[in-house]
Structure 1
C-alpha cells in the first residue's frame, strides 16, 4: 500500500528524480502527495480511505473462524485455494501489511489468489488484531494461532505440513519475522522459508536512527513509522526497553531461522534495517536472498504493478517460493 507523504512543491522534483522512471507515474502532477501524518486523531479516516479490491473469480476463498491462543479471542482468517483432503500441496501463512495499524486481510485477496494459482499452493491469510486497540503480543498471538491451525489441519486442507512458508509485506513482513522467531523458539512448526517484502523490522528507524535525505520520503515516513511502532509496542518507538520478541531487529540470536528472502527498494525507509537484518541472518548461518531494487519506494509493486522493476521483484519472489517448495531446493542452515 502506498501512503505518500506531504511535500512542498519545491521538493517534488528532488523526490521524483530519485525514483525509478517506471515508478514515477503515481507521483507526477501531485503537489500534495498524501495528507496528515498518522495519529490517533487521523487513524479512523486513514483506515476508511483504503479501497479494498474485488477478489478474482478464482481460486476460491473461504472465511474461517478459529480458536485463538489460550486466553485470546477467536481469530478470523481466509483460506485461498484449499485442496482436497488428503492431497499434499505447499502452503503459505500470509500476514498483511499496514504499519501495524491499518488494512485487513481482504485488502490482499487478488495478489494472493495470483500467487496461489502460480504456485498451486494453499494460502491462509490472517485478519489479526490491529494496534493501538491491541498491543503486542496480541497480533503475534493471532498469527501464531493461525500457523498452528494450518499445521494441525493440514490433512483436511490438502496441505503438506513439511512445506509451509510464512510471508508478509511491510508490517506483515515484520509480523512474519516475529512469527518465524516464535516458531523457532517453540519448536512446534518447522517453516520452509520466510518471504519478507520490504519488512518493518526495527522500531529505532526514524526515532533513534534517522534516515539519509531521500530515504523514506515516499510510501512510508519516519513519522508514520514512529506512530505504527508506538501503537504496537505500547511504548515510544526507539525506547531503551521494548517487549521481548516484538522487534525482530532487536532479537540477539537469529540462528535456526528458515531460509529467508528479503526484498526492499533503495529509497524505502526500511532499506538499511532490511539490509542489516539480511547480513545478520547470513552471519547466523541462515540461507538468505537479499534483493535491493534501485529507485523503488515503499509499496512500489502495488502502485505500479506492471513496471519492469516490479516484474523483476515478482520473478525473484516467485523463484524463492519455488525453491522453498521444492525438496532440497533451498539449503537449510
Structure 2
C-alpha cells in the first residue's frame, strides 16, 4: 500500500467556497428533499468542463444514467461511476464532468448512474442498481476486468459495496475499484469527525445522522457489510485506489478501509491530499495538483 499524508492547513478553493455556501444555506433554511437535491446538483460547478468529451443519456440494466465518451477513448473499458450525496442527493448530471475527467485520464468511457435514492428507496436499492448495471455491461460484451467501479462519498461506498455484493453472489468482479473520500462508517465512530470538524466545510455529524436514517431506516444494521464496508471481508477484492482530503471529517474512513483491505491481501493505493476538502477531485481542470492526481489514477488504471 502506498500513501502520502501531510499537514492540516486548509487550502482555499472553489469547492470549499461552495461547501461553505451550502452549509450556510442548510443552517438558515428548512429544505425539503426536492430543494435539497436541487442545491446539491450544483456540485459540478467547481469542475471545469473537460474538452473533447461527448455525453449520451441511456439506461443500462434498467438504471438510467449519462455516458461520457472522451475523444479516442477505448469503448471496451468502462468506469461505472456512482455519485455521492448521502445516497439521497447528487445525480449523474452533478457528477458527469468529474467522471469524464477521470475517464479522459484513463483513456476509457464512463457511465454515471442515476441510481435509486433514499429515503424513497432505502438500502440495498443503490447497491442492487449498481450490480444490475455491471451485469448489463457484461451482457453487452464488456469484460469484467475492463470495468472499474468508481464513486465519491456515498458513491465511494457503493463503488466498494458493488464488488462485495458480486463476490457474495459468486459473480465476476470488476478489474479495479476507485473511491474518492468514501463515506463508509454508518455508525459515526470515526475520530476525524471530531478532530477535523473545524476544517471540514461541509460534513457534520447531524448531516450524516440524517443521511443514515434515510438510507438504512429501521431495517438495515449500520454494521451490515454491504452498507458499511468497514465490516466487510475483502479477501479476493480487486486492486483498490482510495483518496481523501487531509482536512475533511471522513478522512479516516479512507484510511480505515485501506488498512482493512490491505490486511486481506488487496493491492491498495491510498492518497491523502494536503489541505483538501471532501471529494477534492471536483477541482479537476482548476487545480494542478488535482489534475496530476487524476493523471496518476489514469496511469494506475492503464497499468
TM-score normalized with structure 1 length: 0.75
1:31-53 Cα deviation digits (max 9, x unpaired): 99522269995432221223366
Q: Which runs of 5+ in 2 are unaligned?
A: 1-6
Determine if the alignment matches structure 1 residue 100 to structure 2 residue 87.
Answer: yes
Equivalent in 117, 128, 131 of residue 141 of structure 1? 128
Distance 1:262 1:59, change over 3 A: same
Higher helix share: 2
Determine if the alignment matches structure 1 residue 78 to structure 2 residue 66.
Answer: yes
- What is the count of residue pairs matched by the alignment? 290
Equivalent pair of 2:53/2:69 in contact (CA under 8 Å): yes
Equivalent pair of 2:145/2:176 in contact (CA under 8 Å): no
Equivalent pair of 1:80/1:124 in contact (CA under 8 Å): yes
Distance 2:299 2:225 in 1: 33
Equivalent pair of 2:64/2:113 in contact (CA under 8 Å): yes
Counterpart position of 1:213: 195
Counterpart position of 1:259: 239
Counterpart position of 2:293: 313
Q: Which runs of 5+ in 1 are unaligned?
A: 1-16, 68-73, 324-333
Equivalent pair of 2:195/2:249 in contact (CA under 8 Å): no
Distance 1:131 1:25 in 2: 25
Larger Rg belongs to: 1
Distance 2:33 2:63 in 1: 23
SS at match of 1:34: helix
Counterpart position of 1:183: 166
Counterpart position of 1:70: none
SS at match of 1:63: strand
RMSD: 3.4
Distance 1:298 1:34 in 2: 17
SS at match of 1:35: helix
Distance 1:220 1:312 in 2: 26
Distance 1:214 1:186, change over 3 A: same
Distance 1:143 1:320 in 2: 23
Equivalent in 217, 225, 230 of residue 234 of structure 1? 217
Distance 1:284 1:101 in 2: 31
Superposed displacement of residue 55, structure 1: 6.8
Equivalent in 119, 123, 126 of residue 113 of structure 2? 126
Superposed displacement of residue 127, structure 1: 0.8
Distance 1:169 1:144 in 2: 17
Distance 2:212 2:60 in 1: 27
Distance 2:224 2:28 in 1: 22
Equivalent pair of 1:173/1:195 in contact (CA under 8 Å): yes
Counterpart position of 1:12: none
SS at match of 2:89: coil
Distance 1:38 1:97, change over 3 A: farther
TM-score normalized with structure 2 length: 0.82
1:93-127 Cα deviation digits (max 9, x unpaired): 11111111101112222223333333331222211
